[in-house]
Amino acid sequence: MLPLLQLLLACCLAIASPLPRDTASLAALWGSQGSKYPTVFLHGILGWGEQKPLLGYINYFGGLSQNILENLRDEGHIVVAPSMGPLSSNWERACEAFAQIVGAKTDYGLARSARFKHERFGLDHSGNAMVPGFSSNFAGSAAGAGSTKKINLVGHSLGGSTARFLTHLLSFGSQEEMDACAAASVECSPLFWTNRTQSYVNGLFALSGVHQGSVVDDFLHANGGLMTFITGFANTVVGINNFNNKDLIWDLQLGHYGLRQNTDEAFSAYLHRVCKSGWFLSDSTAVHDLTVAAHETPLLSFVRNSASTTYFSVAGVTTNHLLGVSVAKLSTNAFLAPFADIIGTYTNASLPVLSTFSTREWRQNDGMVMLASSRGPRAGFSSFEMDIGSRYETKLVQSAPGRAPEKGVYNYVGAMDGFDHFDLIALLDIIPGQVDGLYSNILRVLNALAP
């Protein structure tokens, strides 16, 4: 009789037990009905959107060997990737991304343009909304008009910071801009509306985001190598495509500063003129926003997380840590290896924020960004580790925490060991498919969130 009782008990337990992890979905695991919003991909510094690939063939997300966005579309996802100023500040990039998403003239803000002495408006994308359903949210003169459709954001490197800026503005607006427009009796961009009743960003996923800056930028500033780095990288990687000025795929989008490329001006000469301008050393550039020091200033520290948005972050690590320093692995990209070593041994007493973390957290890096910076902003992060790079959905579900991710903080899913800054976007991959699982899983995570 004992074996029979054991069998009956086992059957009862099987009936009472929840579905095994390999048959459950993330949404079911987290008690959510799931959602499926369009996802906007935001590139990093010196990057480009999807409209004109580098050299006509190289995608920012996917490199020469693949097109990650097209792969995701084949899986049934709605994804887009606007092109933002490759050297512009997070504020300007957020404004440029918004204009392309909703199909409007780029509005950098009345107060902002007065402060930094540039034109208020930039490129006009009217009639060419990347996400038409989302643009209907802003069809009226008051927040909440039209559709309540939301979007997700995925940002790499500086794109992760830009995504946080855009989410902040879409959630809280800008009282300074609203006041400036009211005083001048002009219409304010809906990006700056402060009377919203909801957040328009459901989920945000940052890949190697520069949430607390990168000491690479601080190092280059201190050693006078910033201009050499920018012009050298641009002229070798990007300038090749622009030598004849016929197929400009790297629009600096600096017309509002009066820094436009002349008709007969070589791209290298134009870039040199930009780097010699007063703008380049101002506080309204990407290179300013990438410094660790800048994140302690009001220009960046005002940005806060939205309690209605679920944030995620993933880091890359391409260094080995030993005896208090980190050095590049042999597999690290040759261009990134020197920077990996700089970060891995960097010390700067004038940056007290460095002392708030262990040397391992600051010195382990992906060749461009420190681990501590990739995890999230100073507001903190919550550990939410899962096998985000897995090629199989079942492994992702099995590895995922049984609790729903927390809103309003960065849910850090962990570090991808052996992946450098370029590996995370497959920029230099010869063999396609190395990050297929990563991006499919990112969309699975975002789609599993409650609407």
Q: What is the pLDDT of residue 223?
A: 66
Please report whether residue 112 resides in a domain: yes
Measure the CA–CA gap between 245 and 325, rounded to whole angstroms: 45
Please report whether residue 282 resides in a domain: no
Measure the CA–CA gap between 292 and 372, rounded to whole angstroms: 12
Mean pLDDT of 128-154: 77
Above 60 in pLDDT, residue 23?
no
Assessment of whether the complete model's pTM goes beyond 0.85:
yes
- Is 202 in contact with 451 (CB distance < 8 Å)? yes
Enclosing domain of residue 409 = 29-213+298-318+371-447
Mean pLDDT of 113-122: 97
Q: What is the pLDDT of residue 143?
A: 44
Question: Worst-scoring range by mean pLDDT, 11-20, 220-229, 341-350?
Answer: 11-20
CATH number for the domain including 205? Answer: 3.40.50.1820
Our CA dihedral for 50, 295, 188, 198, rounded to 10 degrees, sits at 80
Residue with the larger pLDDT of the pair 251 and 37: 37
Percent of the chain with pLDDT over 70: 86
pLDDT category, 5, cuts 50, 70, 90? Answer: very low
| Burial class for 76, CB neighbours closer than 10 Å (0-12, 13-18, 19+) | exposed
Please report whether residue 195 resides in a domain: yes
Above 70 in pLDDT, residue 387?
yes
The dihedral through the CA atoms of 259, 264, 266, 269 has a sign that is negative
Measure the CA–CA gap between 48 and 393, rounded to whole angstroms: 30
User: What is the domain count for the chain?
Assistant: 1
Above 60 in pLDDT, residue 292?
yes
Above 60 in pLDDT, residue 309?
yes
Please report whether residue 208 resides in a domain: yes
Distance, CA of 344 to chain centre = 23
Q: What is the pLDDT of residue 126?
A: 94
Q: What is the pLDDT of residues 169-212, one digit of tens each?
A: 999 999 999 999 999 999 999 999 998 877 899 999 999 999 99
Tokens 């490329």 — which residue?
Answer: 261
The dihedral through the CA atoms of 382, 392, 422, 267 has a sign that is negative
Q: What is the pLDDT of residue 260?
A: 93
Q: Measure CA of the first residue to CA of the last residue in the chain; give whole Å.
A: 52
